Structure formats: structure tokens, C-alpha cells
Amino acid sequence: MNLDALFNAKSIAVVGASSREKTVGNDIVKNLVTQGFEGKIFPINPKIDELYGIKVYHDLTEIPENIDLVVVAIPATMVPEIIKQAAAKGAQSAVVISAGFKEIGNLALEEELRNVCRQNHVALIGPNCLGVINAQNKMNASFAALMPQVGNIAFMSQSGALCTAVLDYAEKMSIGFSKFVSIGNKADVDEVDLIRYLHTDPQTKVVALYVEQLSNAPEIIETLVELNKGDNPKPVVILKSGRTEAGAGAIASHTGSLSGGDNAYEALFAQAGIIRANTIEDLFNFAQVFCKNEQASFEKIAVITNAGGPGVLTADGIINNGFKMADLSEDTVAKLKAVLPPAASTHNPIDVLGDAISDRYRQALELVVRDPGVEALIVLLTPQSMTEIKETAQAVIDVMAAYKQETGRKKPIVVSFMGEKTVNDGVRMLQAADIMTTTFPEPAAASLAALSRFTAWSKIPVEAKLTYNDVDRDKVETILAEAKKNGQTSFPEAEALAIFEAYRLPILASALAHSPAEAKEVCERLGASTRFAMKIVSPEILHKSDVGGVMLNVTAADVEQKYSEMMTTVASKKPEANLQGVLLVEMAPAGGLEMILGVNKAPGLGTMIMVGLGGIYVEILKDVNFAFAPLTRSDAVRMLTNLKSSKLLDGARGQLPVDKEKLIECVGRLSQLVVDFPEIVELDINPLLALSDKALVLDGRVVIE
């Protein structure tokens, strides 16, 4: 896949060039001709001879030399043949602007286009896209009117309309780009392909994306772990629409009901080290903080302000993002007291007061930036009548430059000159000096948090996936094959436990019984003095306790009577259910913490593992976390420690702490099971009883495709 032929094309053919202004075919040629592209341009149109002062060719075969890139803006049905012709002229890349493919249900035509491109080794962007811009070489192969400033942010979007709005926003905010891509339907080249290419691009420091839908989460995770846990991490920032979208289709498990909405993307982003933006402003704030600061991991942030209110808001933002207000040393505080007015605050946040001119900012910043307890800074300014906007900006620039010259490193800093017109000159100066700015203080704190968290994530060593050599894969293959032969897709508890046992998930002694007499025989065989939980077996009953389908402390002496009672009770409450018997399970030890493990397949993304607080309250409290299989140990640990109820695992109010290693092992074994058997689409282990010395599977259910 030659993406260099796309972004660094020396010759471009535009098929569908038009003499009519305000049309796609006209705008693409105009942009290439008038915005500084120095390569060769070959417009193609059988009805005209010249456009914007250059020769127009009647078809691709007339072009006297080979081309690198073809841009196509003609009716969809004609596009595959044009790609063949372009490939014959040496084209290794194509941007198909044309609509009329998958987005209107024309899947076959898009598949044909993809196949033609791959057969001819042509890297395809689109179809149904705005185009591609490389600001570095002034190549605007799109119908967006603006050529963006040159910068270090690579931006790609699944929405062409958003691209034009982003270009307008970026011009206003003086944001520059290395590459700018509208990816459209992603028939061939997708986000992962582009991220891989951009990771090798020396002009790109950070990749920003707007996405509506992603696919193949394990591939995204594997790619970003590979690229960004090395010597040259390049952060990926994503604005994802559709946070509130509910999962579709019938749901047969607790896990399925809890995995809708945005949980799949939250899991993906956490595992892949992706920084999530909630707004377009966030997207570019987070991108810029990486472009204008060296990557660093830190906790302690200092704030310098000329107004108390914004200083407190910023401190709140720092704490709310999980960071700390830096404690200044006694020496720094003493020196601040010596240079600041008596009414100034010399403790963090440092308030230099509303009448501060540039020298006061300079003196404070010179002291604070050198304090060993300060790992990052936020400088705030609200414009007062005596405020020196440009001079204060210059003071910040000078102090930070001097600090870098002294130490050889750039201490992370974000500056918020609050307002618009009044502070604009100072903001422009800071931006030109590669100092990150925000309009308001809260985004400053969030941006520094993004910088630190990504840097910390990138330094975590790459781990192997959790795997175990003692599993009985053949047994599960046999169970699933028999089920598929019989058209069975759901495995209630008794059959699910056999699957779990094959992967050495810890289960209690159990057996099925289909009559009172058989129930007595089972109890005596498993242990005449043992107490059992007796559970109804019926494919129509998911929540057994709701219909009287669970009895505890059953013994061999009373099992026959209780068997009959349960059948009568359940039949009265669920008369349509097929009651196949009962499952007798050895009673679990007293105490412990009820957890839930689960599996759900996120359409297009992959199979998710769920961990959370279990039992009857799981769908009420909804204290669960997700991650995509296959999992590493760090994934499993993060899922457990990020639970709101995680302190319960360590023991609370006199309870013993649970054996976390056994929980991690259960999570790992479940991950291996669903990787080995991707046909598993839903699964519950609820409850998984976590004890001080072990974990036990007490109930479960499996659903396959």
C-alpha cells in the first residue's frame, strides 16, 4: 500500500474536471492550480480543452506520462473502470470523491471498486469523501476551499462536512496540519493504515480523528501498542460521535444488557492508549498540547494567575482530572513573598493580583518554574485596564526559553489568556513561540492531564496476552459442535459449567437430576452430608430466583420433597417453560464477595470481557468495566482497580481481602476461551464468588452464534 504516492504525489490526474464553477470537479482543479501545488496536474474531461490555464485531456490514455495519484469525481458506476485506466498509467493511489456506494446501499459496487484497487495495487481513499490535503507540499486534492497552515497535527475524519468546518475553525485558532484526510467509506485504506503511515511521517507529531464507527478493536489495540510503546510514541486523539447509542438486538445476558451505549469504545480507547475528546475544541486542545510540549508524565501542577476565581477553577480542574496542586518549597515561597505585594497569594495557586504588569508575572514564573516540586504549569491572565498583554506573553516566552536553555528540557506549560479581542495579540505571540494556549482555564488542566496520561501509558512495557496451557480445547469443540448440529445456541448453567470446567475455571461439584429419585441419588453420590444449592433447569428461564427456581441448603434427606415443591412453584409462575429438571450444586462457602464475569460481542469491534460487582444487584449498581479480548495482565488489573467498589476487594468493615490473583486468573482464562471460540457472543458467570483464598464459579450461561 503506497500512501507516499498519495501524500507526496508529483503528478495528479483529476477525472471529472469541470468548467462549471462551484462544482466538485472545478474546485479540485482550482485548488491544485491556485494554492501552490508544484507537481503536474492533468485535468480529464472529454468536452473541454483548457481549465485555469492548463491543458485538459479528454481521457486518461492521452496523458503523455505516468501519474502518481488519480482523483475521481464522476458517477459511481464508472469509477472501477477509471481506476483500471489510471493503474495502467502508473497510478499507485486514488482519491474517489464520488458518492453512490455503500452509503446508499450499493455494497456490490463498492466491493467491485475495492477489488479493482487491490488487484491493481492502488491505495484507495474513499469513496464518498472530501479528499486529501498535504499542507507541507501545498497539495489540496479536495473540494475544501481552504489550504490550512502547516503544522504537526494529522487530521482524518469520517465526515466530509465536518472537515470543512474544522478547516475554518483551525484557521481562526491558528492550528496547523501536516496531513488532512477525509476517509469516507473506507473501502480500502482505513484509520489503522493511515496511523501506521503517519507514524513514519516526520512532519506529524499527533494524529487527531473524528470517527462515527470503528472496526476490529483487537487490530487497533495491537497496532497502537506496537507503535506507541516504543521510542517514538505519537498520540492518537479521537472525537467519537454517538456516545448514547444503545445496543441493538435481543439480549440474553446481564453482560449484554450492560455493554450497550459507549462501553465498547471506552474499553477500546483505554487499551489502545487513545485520548478521547468530547468536543472539537477538546480534540484540538489535546492535539496541540502534544505539539507544543515535550511528552512527560507528571502529577504536580502549579498555577499562576492574576485573578482568584479563575485560579480556583483551574485548581478544581487539576484535582478533578486526578492530578495534584504542587506544594511549593519554603525557599520558593520566601522568594515570592519578597517580590510580590503583601496581598498576593504565595501558595499554589499563586495569585499575583489583578494589577500585575508583566514584570510581576516574570518574577513569579522565574521562581515557580525552577521549584523542584513543580512538574507542570498553568499561567492564567484576565485582562484588566493595567494588564500588559503582549509584554506578559513575552515574559512567559523568555522565562520558558531560559529554563529550557538551562536544563535542556521543556517543562510542560499551558497558558490561558482569557478573552478574545483584548488578548489576541498576546495569544498569537505565545502560539508563534510554540506555547500552548487555551481560551479558558478548565481546558488547560484537561490538556495537561491528557499529555501526562498518554506519556505514562506509553512507558508501560508491552505484555504478553494471558494464556494457559492446561485447558481442554477439544472438549469445548465437541460440546459446541454437538450443539451446532442440533441447532442449539444457548447453554444454560449445567452445560455452561462443563465449558468453564474445560478451561479450568473453578467450579463446585455439581450434577443434573431429572426426577426426585435421581436428585436423591446425586446428593448421595456427591456427598451424603453435603449441602446443595438446587436450581431449576429450563432454557426459557434466565433469572431463576425470580420464579422460585433456587433453593439453598438442600440435603439428601429432603431433596425429593424440595424437588417436587420447586417444580410446582416454578410451573405456576412460568407455565410456558420447559422444565427439564434441576442442577444440584455443592453449597459455596459462607462469606466472600459476589462478582460477575461476562462476555459480549460488540458488532464490528470484537469480543469484550466484563468484570464487575455481581449477584442480584449487578444491573442496579452497574459497577462494571470492559476490555477487548485477548487481555493482558494489566488489562485485567485495570478492570478490577477501576471499579467503584474496588475497595471491597481489599476488605472493608472487617471483611477479609479477596484473592485478586485468582480473579485475574479467571479473567485471563475467560479471555482465552473466547479467543479460541469466537462464536461465543454472550456469556455470564454470575456470581463469581471471590474469597480470601480462591474464586468459585457459582452460576453461568453461554450463548453462541
pLDDT band at 532 (very low <50, low <70, confident <90, very high): very high
Sign for the CA dihedral angle at 153, 154, 156, 160 comes to positive
The continuous run of DSSP H or E covering 71 comes out as: strand 69-72
- 365-377 mean pLDDT: 97
Question: Can you tell me the distance from the alpha carbon of 538 to that of 580, in angstroms, rounded to the nearest whole number?
Answer: 6
Of the candidates 480, 526, 484, which has an alpha carbon nearest to the alpha carbon of residue 499?
A: 480
Of the candidates 433, 451, 365, which has an alpha carbon nearest to the alpha carbon of residue 403?
A: 365
**pLDDT > 50? residue 268:** yes
Q: What is the pLDDT of residue 258?
A: 63
Q: What is the pLDDT of residue 529?
A: 85
88-113: burial string, b at 16+ Cβ within 10 Å, e else = ebebbbbbbbbbebbeeebeebbebb
Q: What is the pLDDT of residue 102?
A: 94
Helix residue ranges per DSSP H, 200-253: 217-228
pLDDT in tens, 315-358: 999 999 999 999 999 999 999 999 999 999 999 999 999 999 99
CATH architecture of 298-458: 3-Layer(aba) Sandwich (3.40)
Q: SS3 of 133, please?
A: strand
Domain 593-704, CATH: 3.30.470.20
- 383-404 mean pLDDT: 96
pLDDT in tens, 480-513: 999 999 999 999 888 899 999 999 999 999 999 9
- Report whether 81 contacts 113 (CB < 8 A): no
Q: What is the pLDDT of residue 256?
A: 55
**What dihedral angle (degrees, nearest 10) is formed by the CA atoms of 377, 382, 387, 390?**
60
**pLDDT > 50? residue 251:** no
Helix residue ranges per DSSP H, 183-246: 191-199, 217-228
Q: SS3 of 153, please?
A: strand
Q: SS3 of 136, please?
A: helix
pLDDT band at 249 (very low <50, low <70, confident <90, very high): very low
Q: What is the pLDDT of residue 257?
A: 55
Q: What is the pLDDT of residue 2?
A: 82
- 693-705 mean pLDDT: 93
Q: What is the pLDDT of residue 244?
A: 59
167-197: burial string, b at 16+ Cβ within 10 Å, e else = beebeebebbbbbbbbbbbbbbbbbbbbbeb
Q: What is the pLDDT of residue 116?
A: 98
The percent of the chain in helix, strand and coil, each rounded to the nearest 5, is 40, 20, 40
499-518: burial string, b at 16+ Cβ within 10 Å, e else = bbbbbebbbbebbbbeebeb
- Among 182-191, 405-414, 489-498, the range scoring the smallest mean pLDDT is 489-498
**pLDDT > 90? residue 234:** yes
Taking CA atoms, 666 is separated from 27, 506, 516, 520, in Å, by 59, 8, 34, 32
**pLDDT > 80? residue 144:** yes
Taking CA atoms, 271 is separated from 223, 230, 356, 636, in Å, by 11, 16, 45, 11
Phi and psi, residue 166, nearest 5°: -65, -40
- 616-640 mean pLDDT: 90
Q: What is the pLDDT of residue 539?
A: 83
- Report whether 438 contacts 416 (CB < 8 A): yes
The continuous run of DSSP H or E covering 415 comes out as: strand 413-417
pLDDT band at 32 (very low <50, low <70, confident <90, very high): very high
pLDDT band at 181 (very low <50, low <70, confident <90, very high): very high
- 437-441 mean pLDDT: 92
**pLDDT > 70? residue 239:** yes
- Report whether 233 contacts 199 (CB < 8 A): no
| Total count of residues recorded for the chain | 705
Domain ranges of the chain: 298-458, 509-586, 593-704
**pLDDT > 70? residue 261:** no
Could you give the percent of the chain with pLDDT greater than 90? 86
Of the candidates 57, 126, 74, 138, which has an alpha carbon nearest to the alpha carbon of residue 95?
A: 126
Domain 509-586, CATH number (from 3.40.50.1000, 3.40.50.150, 3.30.1490.20, 3.40.605.10): 3.30.1490.20
Of the candidates 91, 88, 55, 54, which has an alpha carbon nearest to the alpha carbon of residue 72?
A: 91
